Structure 1
Amino acid sequence: MSTKNPCISLCKFDEEICLGCGRSKREIKSWKKMEKDEKRSVLAESALRLIKLKGASRRKKK
């Protein structure tokens, strides 16, 4: 798995999570200092967050 920075230059946040890449503000700030294994873990978690965020946006707002 690649550990390339997942930023797509869409830096808009829902709470603490970026809607573009799915990472938290903390993860974004510390990305360059992370080891490859930690980056892989963050990438997996961020992918799941994006799926959840996209599912939540489909719900009708009351």
Structure 2
Amino acid sequence: MTDKPWYVPTPCVMVCTLDDNDVCLGCYRTADEIGEWVDADAARRDAILEAADTRMLQAGREA
């Protein structure tokens, strides 16, 4: 963890397997979102997390 107020930790759970739609079965980010994570600012990371949570709920899992 870091003391930087803008820091948003990765949602990666080390289950790095993509489905047919290029969505990770572990964190529910798309391949593109995973690729941009390292350079994304906090606002973009929050948006990625929100989209991933939506995908997770649509897949029938709890966010």
Higher relative contact order (CA 8 A, sep 6+): 1
1:1-62 matches, within 5 Å, as 3-14=8-19, 15-54=21-60
Mark the runs of 5 or more structure 1 residues left unpaired by the alignment: 56-62
Give the TM-score of the pair, scaled to structure 1: 0.78
Which letter does structure 2 place at the counterpart of 1:20? G
> Following TM superposition, where does structure 1 have runs of at least 4 consecutive aligned residues deviating by more than 2 angstroms?
none
Provide the rounded CA distance (Å) in 2 between the counterparts of 1:13 and 1:44: 18
Between Structure 1 and Structure 2, the one with more helix by share is 1
Q: Find the structure with the greater CA-based Rg.
A: 1
Offset at residue 54 of structure 1 (A): 2.8
Q: Number of aligned pairs?
A: 54
RMSD of Structure 2 on Structure 1 (CA):
1.5
Q: TM-score scaled to structure 2, two decimals? A: 0.77
